[in-house]
Amino acid sequence: MGRRRGGREESIEAEIDTGTARLEPVPGEPDSWILYVNAVPSSPITASDPQRLDFEYLDWMGRVIDASFPAGQALRAAHIGAAACALPRWLDARRPGSRQTAIDIDARLLELVREWFELPRAPALRLRPGDGAHEITTFRPASLDLVVRDAFAGDATPGTLAGDAFFGASAAALRPSGLLLANVADRPPHRALRAEIARLRAVFAHVALVADPGQVRGRRWGNVVAVASAGPIDTLGTAKALRRGPAVATVLSGAQLDRYLGIAD
């Protein structure tokens, strides 16, 4: 894990298929790292604690998962956008016996992630190179509990992962109680985010949004988590779980989400 000279961790930089990956040590924390992909922070990793999720949106995702499924239940999950597999590591430690597939467009990045980090081995976690828009169509209908979309080209979600075809394929692969969690990054006035939520609502019966209150008010750029399911989403349980977290977040659904989308007074 990293190179040491005189007891000091140093960053590692490597060429990957889509550009450059850089592994940067967290100052003062000898086993914590941030993976940057093409200069964009993509994954936090603490080698000694897989249940530590230092990015606030990852913490939110973890709390949504825990509020939505019985404690300890093993899940079948597909991750579109693998990076350093922070959430798959968390899920494997939190819910032993889970089976996961992490998909990334960059095959070389997946090789490096296996080399750099102690990731669960197949069948607990399979790493699959490929285009997530295609790969999601290869899962059997109603075979997944969880689809996590956390893939970017630069700081934007590729259009093929934010359209009707991808959301439809995700819905088909999910069980009735399954969840789609989508990491969305957008700037005020959040037109892309609103458009993506509207597309999700056209496919899924239930959609909610988890975000920092300042983002909801359109005051700043940042990551938000869209939650979608064929079945009801436990928004009250999710809100309680989020209140116990380190980063403030609010949950929008129903009429609140209508108002945010501008389709209700």
Does residue 223 form part of some domain?
yes
pLDDT value, residue 247: 85
Does residue 215 form part of some domain?
yes
From the CB of residue 210, how many other CB atoms can be counted at a distance below 10 Å?
Answer: 27
Taking the C-alpha atoms of residue 58 and residue 78, their distance in angstroms, rounded to an integer, is: 15
- Parent domain of 86: 48-261
Mapping DSSP onto H, E and C, the string for 132-165 reads HHHHHHHCCCCCEEEEEECCCECCECCHHHCCHH
Task: Read off the tokens for 38.
Answer: 């093409």
Through-space distance between the first and last CA atoms of the chain, rounded to whole angstroms: 53
Does residue 36 form part of some domain?
no
Taking the C-alpha atoms of residue 95 and residue 78, their distance in angstroms, rounded to an integer, is: 15
Instruction: Give per-residue burial for 220-231: e unless 16+ CB within 10 Å, then b.
Output: eebbbbbbbbbe
Tokens 């892309």 belong to residue: 192
pLDDT value, residue 127: 98
Side chain identity, residue 28: G
From the CB of residue 255, how many other CB atoms can be counted at a distance below 10 Å?
Answer: 10
Does residue 14 form part of some domain?
no
Beta bridge partners of 156: 153
Q: What tens-digit pLDDT sequence spans the chain (265 residues)?
A: 433 333 346 899 999 999 999 999 999 998 999 999 999 999 999 999 999 999 999 999 999 999 999 999 999 999 999 999 999 999 999 999 999 999 999 999 999 999 999 999 999 999 999 999 999 999 999 999 999 999 988 778 898 999 999 999 999 999 999 999 999 987 777 888 888 999 999 999 999 999 988 877 766 677 899 999 999 999 999 999 999 989 889 999 999 998 887 765 4
pLDDT value, residue 132: 97
pLDDT value, residue 8: 44
Taking the C-alpha atoms of residue 150 and residue 204, their distance in angstroms, rounded to an integer, is: 19
Where would I find the H helices in the chain?
56-68, 86-94, 107-116, 132-135, 164-173, 191-203, 213-216, 235-243, 254-261
Q: What are phi and psi of 194, to 5 degrees?
A: -60, -40
Taking alpha carbons only, the member of 149, 194, 156, 155 closest to residue 171 is 149
Beta-carbon-side half-sphere exposure of residue 1 (alpha carbons within 13 Å): 18
Report how many domains make up the chain: 1
Does residue 89 form part of some domain?
yes
pLDDT value, residue 219: 63
Bond before 246 cis per omega within 30 degrees:
no
Q: What is the model's pTM?
A: 0.93
Does residue 73 form part of some domain?
yes
pLDDT value, residue 227: 98
Does residue 148 form part of some domain?
yes
The CATH number covering residue 133 comes to 3.40.50.150
Does residue 31 form part of some domain?
no
